[in-house]
Amino acid sequence: MSLFDNMLHSDQSLFKNEIALDYSFIPKLIPYRESQQKYIASCIKPLFHERNGKNLLVYGKPGVGKTVACKHIFQELEEETDDVILIYINCWQKNTSFKIMTDICDKLGIKFVQNKKTDELFGMAKNVVNKKAVVFAFDEVDKAEEFDFLYSILEDVYRKSVLLITNYKSWLDNLDERIKSRLSGELLEFKHYDLEETRGILKQRMEYAFVPGAFSKEAFELIVKKTAGLEDIRKGLHLMKEAANIAEDRSSKQISLDDAKKSIGKLDEFSIKDSAELLEDERAILDLVRDGSGGKIGDLFKSYKDKGGSLAYRTFQRKINRLEEGKFVSLEKTEGGVEGNTTIVKLREVNKKLGDF
């Protein structure tokens, strides 16, 4: 055996189709989400029979397939019908009513939108959608900073389904009553995948993305377990890509257990990068937690105020809850003691829970 048998030639790669590891890649099949997709479809179905659709709040932690399931349904519908207009908007990118209305007009192919106000834009959009039926999906709706757009749509669009997608079910609690009562929607939870489901999903992606045999069994299995523990498929896609890059760096034809371990070791860095997705004030609060980890929420709020923070305590608390839901921090409630009940906010170490495979 030659010394170089196990090495990649410079024109070779472990990747067959790297795009398949992109978070926005939509596979042909979305396994383990059939029943959720059916449920969403049943909310939309009445629109095909000249009736009104149902509204739906889709919720679940990050990386459990909410976005991909909804986009998949839209893709299928697009192929089947022209009778129902489909509009998908990500409220992280479009976070004001004006931006959302501009985007809607754009997606409807409405021209001459320059210098128009939000109301005027909505007027034009309404004229188009009210000639047919429409499904709106507002993804990451909790990132929107105002909700006039939602009110207008619920009030003035006749035949519609509004799908709201969020990581936080609690988002609904803080929603304006005017909107909540008009929404009167159903709830659909996306639970995290178990070990077997995680394996199935990552295997499918592995087959799309890598040349056969690129992953050693042990390397793949380690990533599957780690991902299942973190309950976030996105992290698994990231780990597969990282491990492959590490293997390629050493010109190996196969991704070894050690490459997988190294990719997991780098995950902490990744979670920090991930926090770039937080809103500015959430990030500022996370930085405070990072500085004085283990602090009482009251003290944290005080140093937040000292640094010129402008949020009221309740909003601050809500931000902390969101950081917890996003797994950036953990909260510990203490009872009794001299100061009565309080909450201790701690920085969450991504690998703590699963360090020992």
Ligand X SMILES: Nc1ncnc2c1ncn2[C@@H]1O[C@H](COP(=O)(O)OP(=O)(O)O)[C@@H](O)[C@H]1O
Instruction: Answer for the pair 323, 286: CB distance below 8 angstroms, yes or no.
Output: yes
R_g of the chain computed on alpha carbons: 23
Q: Give Cα 163 to chain centroid, integer Å.
A: 15
The DSSP line for 210-229 is: B-TT-B-HHHHHHHHHHHHH
Query: Of 48-56, 231-239, 290-298, 318-326, which segment contacts ligand X by CB under 6 A?
Result: 231-239
DSSP strand pairing (329-334 vs 342-347): antiparallel
How far apart are alpha carbons 239 and 296 in whole angstroms? 34
Nearest CA among 26, 28, 171 for reference residue 88: 26
Query: Of 59-67, 105-113, 156-164, 180-188, which segment contacts ligand X by CB under 6 A?
Result: 59-67
Q: Give the residue with the Cβ less far from Mg ion, 67 or 198.
A: 67
| Residue in the shown chain whose Cβ atom is closest to ligand X | 65
Nearest CA among 129, 184, 181, 183 for reference residue 158: 129
Contact pattern for ligand X over residues 67 through 106, marking x by CB under 6 A: xx--------------------------------------
If contact means CB under 5 to 8 A according to the sort of partner, which of Mg ion, ligand X, none does residue 27 touch?
ligand X
Contact pattern for ligand X over residues 164 through 203, marking x by CB under 6 A: -------------------------------------x--
Count of chain residues binding ligand X (CB under 6 A): 19
Q: Is 198 in the site for Mg ion (CB under 5 A)?
A: no
Q: Two tokens at 201?
A: 């999903």
Q: Is 167 in the site for Mg ion (CB under 5 A)?
A: no
Q: Give the residue with the Cβ less far from ligand X, 233 or 350.
A: 233
Q: Give the residue with the Cβ less far from Mg ion, 67 or 161.
A: 67
Question: Binding residue for ligand X (CB under 6 A) from 233, 264, 278, 320?
Answer: 233
If contact means CB under 5 to 8 A according to the sort of partner, which of Mg ion, ligand X, none does residue 295 touch?
none
If contact means CB under 5 to 8 A according to the sort of partner, which of ligand X, Mg ion, none does residue 32 touch?
ligand X
Residue 25: CB minimum distance to ligand X, A: 6
**Amino acid letter, 231:** E
Residue 5: CB minimum distance to ligand X, A: 35
Contact pattern for ligand X over residues 26 through 55, marking x by CB under 6 A: -x--xxxx----------------------
Nearest CA among 190, 142, 189 for reference residue 323: 142
**Amino acid letter, 328:** F
Query: Of 11-19, 30-38, 65-73, 198-206, which segment contacts Mg ion by CB under 5 A?
Result: 65-73
How far apart are alpha carbons 175 and 318 in whole angstroms? 13
The DSSP line for 229-245 is: HHT-HHHHHHHHHHHHH
Q: Report the sign of the C-alpha dihedral through residues 280, 302, 322, 355, in that order.
A: positive
If contact means CB under 5 to 8 A according to the sort of partner, which of Mg ion, ligand X, none does residue 74 touch?
none
Instruction: Answer for the pair 83, 133: CB distance below 8 angstroms, yes or no.
Output: yes
Count of chain residues binding Mg ion (CB under 5 A): 1
Q: Two tokens at 32?
A: 């383990």
Residue 192: CB minimum distance to Mg ion, A: 14
Buried b (16+ CB within 10 A) or exposed e, 314-351: eebebbbebbbbbbbbeeeeeeeeeeeeebbbebbebe
Q: Is 67 in the site for Mg ion (CB under 5 A)?
A: yes
Q: Give the residue with the Cβ less far from Mg ion, 232 or 248.
A: 232
Residue 194: CB minimum distance to ligand X, A: 12
- In the 8-state DSSP scheme, what is residue 354? G
Question: Binding residue for ligand X (CB under 6 A) from 57, 100, 230, 237?
Answer: 237
Give me the residues that bind Mg ion (CB under 5 A), please: 67
Give me the residues that bind ligand X (CB under 6 A), please: 23, 25, 27, 30-33, 60, 62-68, 201, 233-234, 237
